[in-house]
Structure 1
Amino acid sequence: MIRYSVIKEKNPREIVLLKGFSCAYGKCAFCNYILDNTDDEEEMNRVNLEAINQITGEKGALQVINSGSVFELNDFTLSKIKEVCREKNIKILYFEAYFGYINRLNEIREYFSEQEVRFAIGMETFDNEFRTKVLTKNFVTNNKVLEKIKKEYKMGLFMICIKGQTKEMILRDIVLAQEYFNEIALSVFVNNDTKVERDEELVKWFLTEIYPELNKKRNIEILVDNKDFGVYVQ
């Protein structure tokens, strides 16, 4: 379990993986991060403080991820993030927030008023049927919803090379991601003991035909392995 790292390429920033309360949704078929949840605040405070204390402010930007959304971090943790941002002169702050929180994002913006808060959303795919039926991530988008997401979220998180996906689906997601998000993270799925499975043929195709050119784009980060950001559960 690695909880602190520094991303040095493309959009340099520090990153911490913190413990939170149970994810408000918690039903995504692909997610094993929920195993990192806890209701023990003493444990949460200890683990999170250890990670936060490693933050140096060297990049002026910090990404905070946890086993859910920023709204599942406790008050102690939020206060320590605020404190370290002030002490280390961190100006840009990333949090993840599930779609169900879209109307509450200003609460976090106001709490961290000294920073530019950039929200990331786990879209996974623009294909509603695949997202809801296969990944069991239960929100549906249309043009109106996508415009709202575009307004509220800076970063879109997507998963690719999953059994059931097609090349066409992945290419469409890449095109639409660039239309709706300023920053994009594409994760090549890695098997993780959930029922969702990696498609090795799609992986081979993506890495040989798509990755070399796509990876040149400064606003697209491609995680070929789930440890590429340096923090991970597995």
Structure 2
Amino acid sequence: MIRYSTVTEKNQREIILLKSSPCIWGKCSFCDYIDDNDSDLKKDISLNKRILKKITGKYKTLEVINSGSCFELPKETLNDIKSVVISKDIKKLFFESHWIYRDKLSEIETFFNIPIIFKCGIETFDNDFRNKILNKGAIFKNPLEVSKYFKSVCLLVGIKGQTKEMIKNDIDYLLKYFEYGCVNIFVENSTNIKRDENLIHWFHKNFSFLEKEKNIEVLWNNTDFGVGGDSYEI
């Protein structure tokens, strides 16, 4: 598994994929990413230390991802991240968090004491599709409510059952309410959720302008950030 990379286009940053305890939700119908979870904390901490040694601080920005939320990272790993932030003079962090943790975000902000962009995997603002089909476990009234907690959301595009209207609304909400965003084109995995090639083709044709939005990133493949793919590195 590749666990260190750099994002050199928009929002230049170093990015690392760390190991964590199991996702607090872990029930999303489309996700097998949680297979990277591990309950062996000693093993997780040891691996994470090796990955953190790769950080150079060259962009002064670091994104930390794991197969769940930043709150599931071992406490020792959070301390190790903070040490790297200080030693490498990191000025901004990106972290991921499930909606469940929305009232705890300030704890991470206080701990690191630097600007943090929290990303939340909303997937879609269509409530029925998000919770009944994707089983996301994120219940809220509207995009404005989400924006009170998160500066960035991740959307999922290209799943059988999604509609063009759904996607249009999602992109409108993203641009209207959020400072940052990531649009993930669905790649089939070990789950039963299927990819809609026609919908993806339509999205590419109609929303290619998002590539020019400085704080919106479109991932056509789930390894486009450079982490998560296979590696022979030990």
TM-score (norm 1): 0.95
Query: Which residue does the alignment assign to 2:49?
Result: 49
The answer for unaligned runs of 5 or more in structure 1 is none
Residue 193 of structure 1 aligns with an amino acid whose one-letter code is S
Aligned residues: 230
Is the Cα contact below 8 Å between 2:122 and 2:138 reproduced in 1? no
> What is the CA deviation profile of residues 54-112 of structure 1, one whole-angstrom value per residue up to 9, with x for unaligned ones?
11101110010101101100111001100000000001011111111111111101110
Report the Cα distance in structure 2 between the residues aligned to 1:98 and 1:200, rounded to whole angstroms: 28
Over the matched positions of the two proteins, sequence identity in percent amounts to 45
Any idea what the Cα deviations from partners look like across 1:137-178, whole Å, max 9, x if unmatched?
1222214xx434212211110100111101111111000011
Report the Cα offset of residue 19 of structure 1. Answer: 0.5
Aligned counterparts, 1:1-234, within 5 A: 1-113=1-113, 115-143=114-142, 146-211=143-208, 213-232=209-228
* Conserved? CA contact 2:155–2:183, under 8 Å: yes
Q: Report the Cα distance in structure 1 between the residues aligned to 2:7 and 2:212, rounded to whole angstroms.
A: 16
Cα-to-partner distance string for 1:105-126 (whole Å, 9 max, x where unaligned): 111011101x111111001000
Q: d(CA) in 2 for partners of 1:173 and 1:217?
A: 15
Tell me how large the CA RMSD over aligned residues is.
1.2
Counterpart Cα distance in 1 of 2:219 and 2:150: 20
* Whole-angstrom CA distance in 1 between matches of 2:59 and 2:66: 20
- Amino acid corresponding to residue 169 of structure 2 in structure 1: R
Structure 2 CA distance for partners of 1:174 and 1:112, relative to 1, 3 Å: same
Runs of 5+ consecutive residues of structure 2 not aligned to the other structure:
none
Q: CA deviation at 1:214?
A: 2.0
TM-score by length of 2: 0.95
